[in-house]
Each structure stands twice: as structure tokens, then as C-alpha cells.
Amino acid sequence: MKHNVYIYILIMALVTFAIRVLPLTLIRKKIQNRFLRSLLYYIPYVTLAVMTFPAIMDATRSPVAGAAALLLGVVLAWLGAGLFKVSAACCILVLIVEFFLVK
């Protein structure tokens, strides 16, 4: 059984095109439903979180170091720290945790 890669690429292109064009052609009025509006508002954040969180856990030698850095990053961001401070603190924490816990 021989597979043609061009058919797969064509199907992928059609699905991607349909996902982007159908909402523009089918939804012409402003969305009034509060639930649907809030759902559409948070979709980019959820997508970013779903892609980022597993990478945080796998980026270190120890999942404990990744979890500690994640927790510290969330707390610092919640307290209003900037991106540079959060990332620097998380990197330093991973370095410390891996130095003491991972032999």
C-alpha cells in the first residue's frame, strides 16, 4: 500500500482553510452570548498553557525542579513581577534544585 503525501498535504490545507474561513463567512453579526464571548476570549491563553506546561516539566533533568519553577513563576507573576524577573528567578531555582537534589 503506497501513500501519496500530496493527498495528505491537500487535506491538511483544506481543513486549515475551512477552520479559518468558515467563521468569517458564517458569523456576520456581533456575538451577543456572554458565555461564547468569554470562551472565545480565553482560547488563546488555554492553547498557550497547554503547549507550555508539559514543556516546563520536561525541560529539566528532574520533574521536581520543573514543578518548583512552575510554582515559583506562577506566584511571582501573580504578585506582579515582570517577565524577566520571573524567568530569571525560575532559572535560578531550577539550577539550585538540580544542584542539591539531582546527583
For cell 504578585, the residue is: 79
Q: Looking at residue 103, what is its pLDDT?
A: 63
What is the domain extent for residue 20? Answer: 5-101
Q: Please, which pLDDT band fits residue 1 given cuts at 50, 70 and 90?
A: low
Q: Looking at residue 43, what is its pLDDT?
A: 87
Q: Please, which pLDDT band fits residue 59 given cuts at 50, 70 and 90?
A: confident
Distance CA 69, CA 87 (A): 9
What is the count of structural domains for the chain? Answer: 1
Distance CA 14, CA 3 (A): 18
* Angle formed at CA 65 by CA 84 and CA 57, multiple of 5 degrees: 85
Q: What is the arithmetic mean of pLDDT over 4-23?
A: 91
Q: What is the pTM of this model?
A: 0.59
Quick check: 44 pLDDT over 90? no
